[in-house]
Chain A
Amino acid sequence: MKKNDTAYYIHGINGPVIDVRGGTGLSMLDMVRVGELRLPGEVVGVSKSGATVQVYEDTSGLRHGQPVYPALAPLSIDLGPGLLGNIFDGIARPLKKIEDTAGVFITRGLDIPALDPEKLWDVTVNIKDGDLVSEGMVFAECPETFAVRHLSLVPPGVSGVAQGVKPSGKYGTSDVIATVKLKNGSDYQLKLSQKWPIRVPRPVRERLPIIRPMITGQRVIDTLFPVGRGGCAAIPGPFGAGKTMVQHQLAKWADADIIVYLGCGERGNEMTQVLEEFSELTDPKNGRPLMERTILIANTSNMPVAAREASIYTGVTIAEYYRDMGYHVALMADSTSRWAEALREISGRLEEMPAEEAFPAYLPSRLAEFYERAGLMKTLSGSEGSITIIGAVSPQGGDFSEPVTQNTKRFTRCFWALDRSLAYARHFPAINWTSSYSEYFIDLAPWYDAELGSDFTAKRQRMINILHEESALQEIVKLIGSDILPDDQKLIIEAARLIKTGFLQQNAFHKTDTYMPLPMQYDMIELILRLFDGAKTLTEKKIPLSLLRDTGIFAELMKMKFDLGEGAGRDRKYFEELIDAAVAKVMSENE
Chain B
Amino acid sequence: MRIEYTGTSELSGSLMVVGGVLGVGYDEFAEITLKDGGRRHGRVIAIDGNRAVIQVFEGTRGISLENSRTHFTGEPLKLALSTEILGRVFDGVGRPADGLGEIFPKERRDINGSVINPVSRKYPRECIYTGISAIDATATLIRGQKLPVFSGAGMKHNELAAQMVRQAKIGDGSNFAIVFAAMGVKNDVADFFRKSFEDAGAIGRVVMFLNLASDPIIERIITPRCALTAAEYLAFTHGYHVLVIMTDMSSYCEALREFSSSKGEIPSRKGFPSYMYSDLASIYERAGQIHGMKGSVTQVPILTMPNDDISHPIPDLTGYITEGQIVLSREMELSGIYPPISILSSLSRLMKDGIGEGFTREDHAELSNQLFASYSRVQDARSLASVIGEDELSPTDKKYIEFGRRLENAYIRQDINENRTITQTLDMAWEILSLLPREELDRVGDKMLDKYYKG
Q: Which residues of A does B touch, CB under 8 Å?
A: 1, 10-15, 19, 58-65, 87, 95-96, 98-99, 102-107, 238-240, 263, 265, 267-269, 271-273, 275-276, 298, 300-303, 305, 338, 341-342, 344-345, 348, 354, 357-358, 394, 396-399, 421, 424-427, 477-483, 501, 509, 552, 555, 558-559, 562
CB within 8 A of A1: which of B23, B48, B282, B319? B23
The reply to whether A240 and B316 form a contact with Cβ atoms under 8 Å apart is: no
List chain B residues, Cβ under 8 A from A263: 118
Mark interface residues in B37-80 (1 if CB within 8 Å of A CB, else 0).
Answer: 00000000011111000000000000000000000000110000
Docked complex Cα distance between A481 and B392 (Å): 9
List chain A residues, Cβ under 8 A from B47: 10, 12-14, 63-64
Given A104-B120, A357-B268, A396-B269, residue A265 in contact with residue B313 (CB < 8 A): no
List chain A residues, Cβ under 8 A from B439: 552, 555
The reply to whether A13 and B442 form a contact with Cβ atoms under 8 Å apart is: no
A105, A399, A509 interface centre (most CB from chain B within 10 Å): A105
Docked complex Cα distance between A398 and B112 (Å): 31
Q: Is B114 an interface residue (CB 8 A)?
A: yes
Given A64-B50, A341-B274, A344-B274, residue A276 in contact with residue B25 (CB < 8 A): no
Mark interface residues in B374-385 (1 if CB within 8 Å of A CB, else 0).
Answer: 001100000110
CB within 8 A of B120: which of A99, A267, A394? A99
Q: Is B443 an interface residue (CB 8 A)?
A: yes
* Chain B residue with the shortest CB-CB distance to A353: B266
Given A61-B26, A483-B394, residue A95 in contact with residue B117 (CB < 8 A): yes
The reply to whether A104 and B76 form a contact with Cβ atoms under 8 Å apart is: no
B50, B268, B274, B345 interface centre (most CB from chain A within 10 Å): B274
Mark interface residues in B109-134 (1 if CB within 8 Å of A CB, else 0).
Answer: 01011111111111110000000000
The reply to whether A269 and B274 form a contact with Cβ atoms under 8 Å apart is: no
A-B contact pairs, 27 of them (CB 8 A): A14-B46, A59-B26, A59-B27, A60-B25, A60-B26, A61-B27, A61-B28, A63-B24, A87-B119, A95-B118, A104-B117, A104-B290, A104-B292, A104-B293, A267-B285, A272-B123, A276-B123, A301-B277, A302-B281, A302-B285, A305-B278, A394-B320, A424-B345, A426-B373, A427-B373, A479-B388, A555-B439
Q: Is B202 an interface residue (CB 8 A)?
A: no
List chain B residues, Cβ under 8 A from A240: 319, 324-325, 345, 347, 349
User: B266-303: which have CB < 8 Å to A?
Assistant: 266-269, 274-275, 277-278, 281-282, 284-286, 288, 290-293
List chain A residues, Cβ under 8 A from B377: 425
Docked complex Cα distance between A240 and B124 (Å): 18
Q: Is B108 an interface residue (CB 8 A)?
A: no
Q: How many residues of B contact A (CB 8 A)?
A: 86
Number of A-B residue pairs having CB atoms within 8 Å of each other in the complex? 217
List chain A residues, Cβ under 8 A from B350: 269
Q: Is B369 an interface residue (CB 8 A)?
A: yes
The reply to whether A105 and B281 form a contact with Cβ atoms under 8 Å apart is: no
Docked complex Cα distance between A65 and B49 (Å): 8
The reply to whether A1 and B22 form a contact with Cβ atoms under 8 Å apart is: yes
Docked complex Cα distance between A107 and B114 (Å): 7
Q: Which residues of B does A touch, CB under 8 Å?
A: 21-28, 46-50, 75-76, 110, 112-124, 144, 236, 265-269, 274-275, 277-278, 281-282, 284-286, 288, 290-293, 311-313, 316-317, 319-321, 323-325, 344-345, 347, 349-350, 352-353, 365, 369, 372-373, 376-377, 383-384, 387-388, 392-394, 397, 439, 442-443, 445
The reply to whether A64 and B24 form a contact with Cβ atoms under 8 Å apart is: yes
The reply to whether B275 and A509 form a contact with Cβ atoms under 8 Å apart is: no
List chain B residues, Cβ under 8 A from A13: 26, 46-47
The reply to whether A396 and B372 form a contact with Cβ atoms under 8 Å apart is: no
Docked complex Cα distance between A60 and B28 (Å): 7
Given A61-B27, A105-B114, A106-B115, residue A12 in contact with residue B281 (CB < 8 A): no
List chain A residues, Cβ under 8 A from B284: 301
CB within 8 A of B22: which of A10, A65, A95, A477? A65
Given A341-B277, A357-B268, A399-B311, residue A106 in contact with residue B117 (CB < 8 A): yes
Shortest beta-carbon distance from A482 to chain B in Å: 7
List chain B residues, Cβ under 8 A from A298: 118
Shortest beta-carbon distance from A525 to chain B in Å: 19
The reply to whether A302 and B115 form a contact with Cβ atoms under 8 Å apart is: yes
* Chain B residue with the shortest CB-CB distance to A97: B119
Across the A-B interface, the 6 shortest Cβ-Cβ residue pairs: A397-B311, A301-B281, A60-B27, A105-B114, A425-B376, A104-B120
B119, B292, B384, B393 interface centre (most CB from chain A within 10 Å): B119
Docked complex Cα distance between A442 and B48 (Å): 57
Given A301-B277, A302-B281, residue A63 in contact with residue B114 (CB < 8 A): no
Docked complex Cα distance between A170 and B38 (Å): 71
Given A298-B118, A397-B316, residue A269 in contact with residue B124 (CB < 8 A): yes
The reply to whether B323 and A269 form a contact with Cβ atoms under 8 Å apart is: yes
Docked complex Cα distance between A240 and B311 (Å): 13
Docked complex Cα distance between A477 and B274 (Å): 44
Given A301-B277, A481-B397, A555-B439, residue A12 in contact with residue B46 (CB < 8 A): yes
The reply to whether B266 and A358 form a contact with Cβ atoms under 8 Å apart is: yes
List chain B residues, Cβ under 8 A from A354: 266
The reply to whether A300 and B25 form a contact with Cβ atoms under 8 Å apart is: no
* Chain B residue with the shortest CB-CB distance to A428: B369
